[in-house]
């Protein structure tokens, strides 16, 4: 078995495609999901997928930071593109009240529209949330029975929040945040209660470098996913190979 990195930001200039993918393969990370956050990235994601169809899949969505740019034509384009090969989820979508780069009412509207598209097209949702958990949950609750699953991407919350997401039928995306001694304690406690059948591994590269990995690097990369996976396996008292197999299969099943 190999590793499946369920979330990377390939459109960041720190993530050159050929170098990133070759290093990932060398580390045993054979599958990767590209996250899109802005309509400007959708065509590039499709181009990457066509270039590397055996390694890549991708999401289509509008991040809450970019909600302010969303226009009706973008949602029409999203519906049309989302049926193409390689598209596995709608998002990254959700709410972010930490930065407030887009007005909160606009964030909520854009998030709700993307959830409706996911329901219409029977696609999982790829969720972002920061400092907005109550509002995020309130928007998700009315459509939970219609959703085809999804992932709480880059989950950094506590056990109570995790249980709320699990009750919605979601998977939980675990990143290198779990390796941060100072900030990751609540997440480590939550991971102890996380059913392995809902566990998905991701790096969110080039962000969230696992701080316990030496020598320290400036940027995260998919090649470092095995390090994060071994940390999670140790936390859950599992063999790393077993966690590797479970997380890979969970990701394949979620993304169909």
- Euclidean distance between the first and the last CA atom of the chain, given in angstroms as a whole number: 18
Measured CA distances, 124 to 42, 120, 250 (Å): 17, 11, 13
Do the annotations mark residue 129 as ligand-binding? no
- Determine whether 211 is exposed, middle or buried from the number of CB atoms within 10 Å of its CB (0-12, 13-18, 19+): middle
Phi, psi of 201 (to 5 degrees): -100, 140
Tell me whether strands 87-96 and 3-8 are parallel, antiparallel or unpaired: unpaired
Find out whether 38 is annotated in a ligand binding site: no
Distance (Å, whole) CA 170 – CA 128: 13
Q: Annotation-wise, does 74 bind a ligand?
A: no
Q: Which residues are annotated as a binding site?
A: 92, 128, 153, 204
Q: Which residues are annotated as a binding site for a divalent metal cation?
A: 92, 128, 153, 204
């Amino acid at each position: 078995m190999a590793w499946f990195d369920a979330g990377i930001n390939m459109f960041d200039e720190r993530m050159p495609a050929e170098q990133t993918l070759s290093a990932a393969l060398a580390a045993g990370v054979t599958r990767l999901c590209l996250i899109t956050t802005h309509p400007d990235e959708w065509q590039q994601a499709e181009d990457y997928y066509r270039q590397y169809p055996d390694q890549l899949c991708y999401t289509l969505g509008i991040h809450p930071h970019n909600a302010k740019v969303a226009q009706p034509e973008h949602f029409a384009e999203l519906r049309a593109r989302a049926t193409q090969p390689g598209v596995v989820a709608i998002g990254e979508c959700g709410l972010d009240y930490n930065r407030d780069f887009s007005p909160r009412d606009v964030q909520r509207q854009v998030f709700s529209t993307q959830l409706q598209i996911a329901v219409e097209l029977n696609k999982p949702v790829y969720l972002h949330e920061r400092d907005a958990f109550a509002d995020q949950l309130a928007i998700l609750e009315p459509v939970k029975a219609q959703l085809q699953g999804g992932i709480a991407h880059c989950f950094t919350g506590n056990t109570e929040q995790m249980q709320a997401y699990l009750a919605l039928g979601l998977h939980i995306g675990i990143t290198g945040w779990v390796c941060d001694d100072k900030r990751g304690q609540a997440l480590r406690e939550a991971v102890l209660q996380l059913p392995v059948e809902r566990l998905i591994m991701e790096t969110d590269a080039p962000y969230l470098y696992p701080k316990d990995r030496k020598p320290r690097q400036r940027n995260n990369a998919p090649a470092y996913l095995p390090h994060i996976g071994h940390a999670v396996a140790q936390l859950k008292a599992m063999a790393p190979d077993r966690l590797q197999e479970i997380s890979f299969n969970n990701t394949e099943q979620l993304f169909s």
